[in-house]
Structure 1
C-alpha cells in the first residue's frame, strides 16, 4: 500500500526515541574510545554470560529513563565517540519505527 509506514523512508529526526526505548550496552572497546562511559554507565561483569567480558549499561531503567548521554535537546552528548551498538542502529529501520511509535513520533507533522 503506497504511503504505508513500511514504504516510507525515514531519516534521523533527532527525536531521541532510540535512546529512550531500548537498553543500551557499551562494551570495553567503546569505553576505550569514550572514557566517560566507564563513569556514567553501570558496570556489568560477565556480560552475556561470558566470563571476564565487561559491559556498561547506559540505560538506567528500561523504558523509564533515557540513555545517560541523551541531552535535553534529544542529541547525543558523545555522538562522535558513541558505542558501536548506537552506530549500528539504522535510522528508519524496524527498530527505529518501533521506538518512534512508542514515543509518539510517527504520525506527527514534521
Structure 2
C-alpha cells in the first residue's frame, strides 16, 4: 500500500532528529546552488541546523510540518521514506509511532 506525503507533513521528525543527517553526499554543484546560502552549514557539509533541527523545516513536529526547500532538498532528505529505519528512529525519538498506511 502506498503512502502519501500527508504522513510526512504531519511529522517532520526526520528533519529534526540529528544535525548529522542533512549532509550533502551526492549533490552536484548545480544542485547546491539552488539551496539558499543561509540554509547551508558554515562548513558547507550540509544543511544548517538549530540544535538538531534543520533550518529548512517549518512547523511543529508531529502536528504540521513542511520543508521550505522541498523541490531542491538534498539527496539524503529525498532518501528518507515513511517507515524506513531512519524514519522510525526519528519518529520514536519524538514519541511518534509508525506512519499509518
- Quickly name the TM-score band, shorter chain normalised: 0.5 to 0.7
For structure 1, the residue ranges without an aligned partner over 5 or more in a row are 1-8, 45-53
Alignment TM-score, normalising by the size of structure 1: 0.63
For residues 62-100 of structure 1, give each alpha carbon's deviation from its aligned partner in whole angstroms, at most 9, with x where no partner exists: 3xxx21011113111111111111011122101111111
Aligned 8 A contact 1:26 1:58 in 2: no
Alignment TM-score, normalising by the size of structure 2: 0.68
Relative contact order: is structure 1 or structure 2 higher (C-alpha 8 Å, sep ≥ 6)? 2
Distance 2:32 2:74 in 1: 8
Q: Which residue of 2 aligns with 1:17?
A: 13
Q: Structure 1 residue runs of 4+, over 3 Å off?
A: 9-12
Aligned-residue Cα RMSD (Å) equals: 2.8
For residues 37-59 of structure 1, give each alpha carbon's deviation from its aligned partner in whole angstroms, at most 9, with x where no partner exists: x2222221xxxxxxxxx423422
Q: How many equivalent residue pairs?
A: 88
Structure number, greater radius of gyration: 1
